[in-house]
């Protein structure tokens, strides 16, 4: 599935994150993450490793030495996904982390109101006592189309490309440099 969000409130120092990710359950994800209009990076998470290819302004924010910058110029930085410096990036590719801002209460009442979403028959689903809503398509195979959680810890996420096989390819060894060269 493809997940897009113009601004989730999970960036560093409260900066909103913008996501455009292709996620494959139990495999990984690839795409782009932006903390601002200029500080962004490409991301691939798969097989216990995280690769990131930062923009020039993102590199500047890392305060790397000239030698380190020369080493990683135009290369993906590869590190184990469990490394403390990249673990939060790997978490972005986790369905449970992505939906962590949604709180559900056992036994709570849900209301599904018929509506349309992008011209398609759908339901707007709300939970009693909670802000926010989800759109679920009203089709033979209902699918989650959008989640909107208002407030400081919320955001809007849209979901597309269901039922189509998607692949997560990793950068080659020639395109990558080990994060250990940078202290990862």
Predicted pLDDT of residue 107:
61
Evaluate whether residue 36 is within a structural domain. Answer: yes
Predicted pLDDT of residue 115:
93
3-state secondary structure of 173: helix
Predicted pLDDT of residue 11:
47
Evaluate whether residue 35 is within a structural domain. Answer: yes
Evaluate whether residue 25 is within a structural domain. Answer: yes
51 and 127 together in one domain? no
Sign of CA dihedral 171, 49, 168, 157: negative
Residues 17-60 pLDDT 10s: 788 888 888 888 999 888 777 778 899 999 999 999 988 777 77
Domain of 6, in residue numbers: 2-99+164-182
80 and 168 together in one domain? yes
Who's near 84: CB < 8 A, 6+ residues apart? none
This prediction has a pTM of 0.74
- Asked whether residue 170 carries a pLDDT value surpassing 90, the answer given is yes
Evaluate whether residue 114 is within a structural domain. Answer: yes
Q: How many domains does the chain have?
A: 2
């Amino acid at each position: 599935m493809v997940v897009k969000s113009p601004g989730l409130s999970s960036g560093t120092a409260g900066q909103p994150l913008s996501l455009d990710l292709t996620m494959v359950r139990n495999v990984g994800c690839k795409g782009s993450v932006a903390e601002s209009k200029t500080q962004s990076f490409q991301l691939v998470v798969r097989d216990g490793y995280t690769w990131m290819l930062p923009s020039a302004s993102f590199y500047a924010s890392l305060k790397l030495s000239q030698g380190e910058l020369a080493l990683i110029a135009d290369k993906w930085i590869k590190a184990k996904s469990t490394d403390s410096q990249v673990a939060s990036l790997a978490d972005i590719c986790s369905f449970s982390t992505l939906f962590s801002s949604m709180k559900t209460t056992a036994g709570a009442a849900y209301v599904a109101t018929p509506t349309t979403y992008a011209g398609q028959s759908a339901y707007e689903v709300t939970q009693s006592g909670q802000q926010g809503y989800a759109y679920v398509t009203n089709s033979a195979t209902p699918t989650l189309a959008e989640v909107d959680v208002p407030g400081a810890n919320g955001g809007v996420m849209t979901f597309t490309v269901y039922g189509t096989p998607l692949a997560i390819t990793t950068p080659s060894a020639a395109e990558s440099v080990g994060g250990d060269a940078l202290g990862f």
